[in-house]
Amino acid sequence: MFISFFLGTILFYCCHDRQDLKCVLSVLPTGRIISDSTKEFHSLQKAILASKNFDSCEIQIEGGDYFLKKTLELDNINKNLTITSKSTERPVIYGGREIKNIVREGKLWVAEVGNLDFRILEVNDRFAERSRLPAKGTFNHLSTFESKWLSTFQGGFSPKPSVEQLLNMKYNSLDLENITDLDNTEITLFHSWDETLLRVATNNTAKHEVTFTQAPAYPAGAFEISKYIVWNSKFGMTRPGQWYLDRKAGKVYYWPLENETPETSRLVVPVLDEIIHINNSSHIKLTNIEFRVNNSPLQIGGFGAKWFNGAINFENSSDLAFNNLTFSNLTTHALKGVKCENVSITDCRIHHIGGIGIRFIGSNSKIVNNLIHDVGMVYPSTIALYVNVTDPNAKDEWELGKDEGNVLIDHNEIYNAPYVGICSGGHDTRISNNKVSKVVQKLTDGGGIYVTFCKNLVLKGNFVSDIVNQEGAGTSAYYLDELTNNAIVSENLSINVHRPLHAHFCENNTISNNVFIVEEGDGRITFPRCRNFTFENNIFQAGSNLEIAGLNVLKSGKNNILYSTGNGSITGSDMLEHEKANSRKVEESAKFHLLNPEILDYTNGIVRFAKNSPVNQFGISSIDVFGAGSSLKE
């Protein structure tokens, strides 16, 4: 059932059986008979305005598909307001519009879209694939940039890149010489931990160099990364299911899958950046609703693609609840909250979106039992679940959120993400019982769980697995970055992540009772620029060689078991800033026992040991993270 919100009807009831005034408003499809026309509304926004006259109100939306023409504004609402479904059939609220008058043009379909500019297309409820070159993988450009990266805290590159270095990219002539519609394309320029989506201003075919319309976050060639992808060219239409937008002509082209017909298909293009905006409000609950299709301008996303809006944006608000919501086919983020407290985000399903699943800056809140997967499909620097601020160079955001904290991130499940699974800054954060797998698939210098600028963090009972090592700075299961101090990392499991633990530029952290298993190949743990760690009762087992870089950092601790199932070497070194020194074999000691821990099984998250395992002798506890992750199913 396809319904326009602004053609819908809302039935209004009020009751006075208590001292406070209450109301129930029902959103009804067009055509439904209303018994009392004096209590009708013609938009959800009007129902929201009407709800302000009552102490509490529930807006019930009947099942169907609703296409918004304007963002729903929930501003300055400080009463109890619930917006929910009326029945078991969920309403689906769109920030886009359905394409009409689709015609065939050869093997493609084509439709007029006017002056809309967009980066996703929903086809028959599916996140359709945008045209791309190359068809798989990436091109490699020829630009270089040799300035030294200091750190985020120390201000980035020294010396800084020039305007010319930022705006230009040299390319191999064989890659782009036949793309005659380059001015209609967009280019994803990969950096290390992020990327920039750019449009081409000019193409100097003699110099084989493009100039972008705006500067990227970092120049081409920074971090010795040379990858890029070209999107939205008609020459990138290589298989059914793809689409591209001809901006000059104002037309969208789609190559249908087998058995798809224009008459039975529905194509939805993005229109609104935000579907719902909440500001300066409290005691609002959204539950049992689905949200699809939003838009975004072409802009730099920043670290984690954080600068984009969410389908639901909320700011300067408190006592909000987002429960049992579903988000899909979005250009950017699902939920984004800034400067909020007492927020609950629970039991939400978020999948096949261009940006972040949940972005939250605030305090005294919980993010629990959410299922997040297939994110970052437009912006690969996306962090699936991103809490509080992590970049002092982003001064406005840093000042806004540097004192936020006390957020619970618990029992969430994340997989299929191009960059980090969970990221957090702030103070007194607890990250527990989460399950993260198959992340950091496209970028580098990331991890399953990445924390930075954190104070008094507890990282406990998580299960991270199956992260492929990437070029450059590599990937980690658990990554403690700059100024993460006084953290407790305990009772976590890592399987098949070649660097299960990486810490950088932090101090006074305790790593205890974790199990790190690399089934095949080498495993390593690294501590550049760190000080004063306690490392005890951990098990580190790899299929080949084991390495601990930063033995001098591990000032205290005992009874760690190191074991190579393939009789590989077990070595270590000191870390002086980023450089290794005094490399040597790790010897048997009170701190390190070179023994077989006799692990029988671990694949389901329960680590079981043989009866004669030395863990009993050393008092190492068993790990059980079988219950980590979300109870939600796809």
Phi, psi of 278 (to 5 degrees): -120, 130
Strand partners, 67: 4, 94
**Residue tagged 């944006």 (tokens):** 313
Q: How many domains does the chain have?
A: 5
Q: What is the pLDDT of residues 283-326, one digit of tens each?
A: 999 999 999 999 999 999 988 999 999 999 999 999 999 999 99
**Statement to judge: residues 367 and 327 lie in one domain:** yes
**Residue tagged 């009762």 (tokens):** 537
pLDDT of residue 46: 76
Q: Report residue 63's pLDDT band, with 50, 70 and 90 as the boundaries.
A: confident
**Residue tagged 């987002």 (tokens):** 322
**Statement to judge: residues 109 and 126 lie in one domain:** yes
Q: What is the pLDDT of residues 115-164, one digit of tens each?
A: 999 999 999 999 999 999 999 999 999 999 999 988 887 888 999 999 99
The answer to the question of residue 298 being in a domain is: no
**What average pLDDT does the chain have?**
92
**Statement to judge: residues 175 and 192 lie in one domain:** yes
CA separation for the pair 322, 348 (Å, rounded): 8
The answer to the question of residue 284 being in a domain is: no
**Statement to judge: residues 438 and 342 lie in one domain:** yes
**Statement to judge: residues 139 and 126 lie in one domain:** no
The answer to the question of residue 630 being in a domain is: no
How many degrees, rounded to 5, is the angle at CA 468 between CA 466 and CA 469? Answer: 135
Q: What is the DSSP string of 376-400?
A: -SS-TT--SEEES---TTSHHHHHH
CA separation for the pair 191, 316 (Å, rounded): 33
Name the nearest CA neighbour of 343 among 425, 421, 396, 404: 404
**Statement to judge: residues 444 and 579 lie in one domain:** no
The answer to the question of residue 577 being in a domain is: yes
Where among 94, 119, 151 does a domain terminate? 94
**Statement to judge: residues 432 and 496 lie in one domain:** no
CA separation for the pair 608, 78 (Å, rounded): 52
The answer to the question of residue 471 being in a domain is: no
Where among 435, 456, 477 does a domain terminate? 456
**Statement to judge: residues 231 and 126 lie in one domain:** no
What pTM does this model have? 0.94
Q: Report DSSP state, residue 507.
A: B
pLDDT of residue 28: 58
CA separation for the pair 185, 232 (Å, rounded): 5
How many other C-beta atoms lie within 10 A of the C-beta of residue 13?
12
**Statement to judge: residues 504 and 563 lie in one domain:** yes
Q: Report residue 541's pLDDT band, with 50, 70 and 90 as the boundaries.
A: very high
Q: Which amino acid is at 232?
A: N
Structure tokens at 61: 């939306």
CA separation for the pair 141, 219 (Å, rounded): 12
How many other C-beta atoms lie within 10 A of the C-beta of residue 302?
18
Q: What is the pLDDT of residues 77-90, one digit of tens each?
A: 988 999 999 888 89
Where among 235, 251, 283 does a domain terminate? 235
**Statement to judge: residues 105 and 242 lie in one domain:** yes
**Statement to judge: residues 538 and 580 lie in one domain:** yes
The answer to the question of residue 274 being in a domain is: no
Residue 437 belongs to what domain range? 304-456
Q: What is the pLDDT of residues 6-42, one digit of tens each?
A: 434 444 444 444 335 677 777 755 545 445 433 455 5
Name the nearest CA neighbour of 193 among 230, 223, 220, 167: 223
Structure tokens at 434: 């989460």
The answer to the question of residue 277 being in a domain is: no
**Statement to judge: residues 349 and 428 lie in one domain:** yes
* Mean per-residue pLDDT, 344-366: 98
Full 3-state SS string of 214-243: CCCCCCCCHHHCCEEEEECCHHHCCCCCEE
**Greater pLDDT, 63 or 406:** 406
The answer to the question of residue 321 being in a domain is: yes
